[in-house]
Amino acid sequence: MSRGPFSFYEFFAGGGMARLGLGAGWSCLFANDFDPGKAATYRANFADAGGHFHEGDVWKIGAGDLPARADVAWASSPCQDFSLAGARAGLAGGRSSAFYGFWRLIEALAVEGRAPRAIVIENVSGLLSSHGGADFTAVAEALAAQGYRFGALEIDASAFLPQSRPRVFLIATREPPPAALTGSGAWQTRAVKAAVARLPAHLAQRWIWWRCPEPPARNSDLAAVLEDDAAVAWHSAERTAQWLALMAPLHRARLAAAQARGERAVGAIFRRMRSENGRSVQRAEVRLDGLAGCLRTPRGGSSRQVIVVVDQGQVRTRLLSPREAARLMGLPESYRLPNAATAALQVAGDGVAVPVVRWLAEQLLEPLLSPAAVIAAA
C-alpha cells in the first residue's frame, strides 16, 4: 500500500468514493461496509483491499480491528432515514442507527488514546432538520462528549458535477483550527445556520464556522457525460408518450419550448409524488438546465432517472446508464462497476461525489491536519 502523509478509516465505505476523493496523499488504514455487492465493488477497485477492508456490520467491529491512530474517520452512514424521500425516522431508524455502531468505536478508541484527530460525517441535508433538529443535536452532543469541536457545510455537488446533489459534511476536530480555516465562507447555508441556532448553548460554544471557498465554475453539463445516441437503447414512441403524459402542464411546456427552438436539448426526467387537489399524484418532472436530478438508489424514493433528448423537434427518452451515473458521481472511466445495472446504480446512488471530497481534502482537511497548521493554531 502506498502511504501518504495522512491516514484515515472509511466507515460505510460503499464503493470507496471517499477514498478516491481523498486521493493518493492519504493512506486507508481500515474500511468497512456490510453490503456484499458494495464490498465486492470495493475489492474490485482497490488492489490492497485484502489488507484493510472488513465486510460486515459495523456493530460487530471492535476497536482492536482498527489499526494505529487515523488522522480522519470518515463516516457516510446510511442516509435513508434522514432523506426527504424516506420515512424521516432519524437516528431512531434501523439503518441510520448504524451511526451509533460507528460512534461506539470512536469512544473505544478514545479510551485507548487513539481517537481520530478529525471526523467527517457525511449525510443528506435532512440530518440538519430531522425531528426538529433533535438528531443533529444528538450527533453534536456525541462529538462534544469526546472533546471535539465541529462545524458543518452543506455542499451541492452541482458546483463540481452536472448533478444536483446537496449533502451535509459535519467536520469535527480535536485540535484548535487555524484562523485561516474559520470565518464566513461558502456553503454556510440557511439550513446550516438554522441547525446551529437550535443547538443548546453548551454545544453552540463548540461550533466552528469552517471557511471553505467555492471551486472554479463548473465547465460541463449533463450532455457531456452521456453516451453517444447510437450506443444506447431508446424507449419506444409509446413509452416516451407515457412519460410525457405523466408531466404537469409546466413541464410539458418546457419540452414544447425546446421543441419549438429546433435545437438539440438534453434533460433528465424523474418521478415525484405530488399533491394535487387533495390527492397524491405521480408526476414526471423534467429539468433542462444542464443538470441531472439527485441520483438515488434503485430502491430509493425516486426511480431510476430517464434521459430526454429533444432534437429537430422530436422527443426521445431512455434510461440513464450505470456508466453515466458513475460519471455524474465523478468516478473515473477505469472504475469497475458491477455487471448488473441495478447493483451498479446502487453503488453510484449511495456514494459521495468524488470531486466534493477532493475539494474538502484540499481546502480544509489537509491544511487542518498539516504540521504547519498545528503549530500555527498552538
| Ordered mean pLDDT values, 10 residues apiece, the chain (378 residues) | 76 97 96 96 96 94 97 84 46 64 95 98 93 91 96 98 97 95 96 98 98 95 97 97 95 94 94 89 94 81 81 94 97 97 94 98 96 53
Count CB atoms within 10 A of the CB of residue 89.
17
What pLDDT is stored for residue 99 in this prediction?
87
pTM: 0.92
pLDDT in tens, 295-344: 987 664 456 899 999 999 899 999 999 999 999 999 999 999 999 999 99
What pLDDT is stored for residue 87 in this prediction?
46
Dist. CA 276–CA 278, nearest whole Å:
5
Domain ranges of the chain: 6-216+352-377, 228-320
What pLDDT is stored for residue 349 in this prediction?
92
Q: Strand pairing partners for 166?
A: 156
Question: For residue 37, which phi and psi values (nearest 5 degrees)?
Answer: -65, -45
What pLDDT is stored for residue 372 in this prediction?
61
* CB-based contacts of 150, cutoff 8 Å, min separation 6: 140, 143, 144, 170, 171, 172, 173, 206, 207, 208
What pLDDT is stored for residue 84 in this prediction?
42
Count CB atoms within 10 A of the CB of residue 321.
21
What pLDDT is stored for residue 98 in this prediction?
82
What pLDDT is stored for residue 89 in this prediction?
53
Dist. CA 347–CA 43, nearest whole Å:
13
Question: For residue 157, which phi and psi values (nearest 5 degrees)?
Answer: -60, -15
Q: Are 154 and 168 contacting, i.e. CB atoms less than 8 angstroms apart?
A: yes
Q: Are 170 and 196 contacting, i.e. CB atoms less than 8 angstroms apart?
A: no
What pLDDT is stored for residue 36 in this prediction?
96
Q: Dihedral of CA 30/33/34/40: which sign? A: negative
Question: For residue 7, which phi and psi values (nearest 5 degrees)?
Answer: -130, 155
Query: 6-216+352-377 sits in which CATH class?
Result: alpha beta
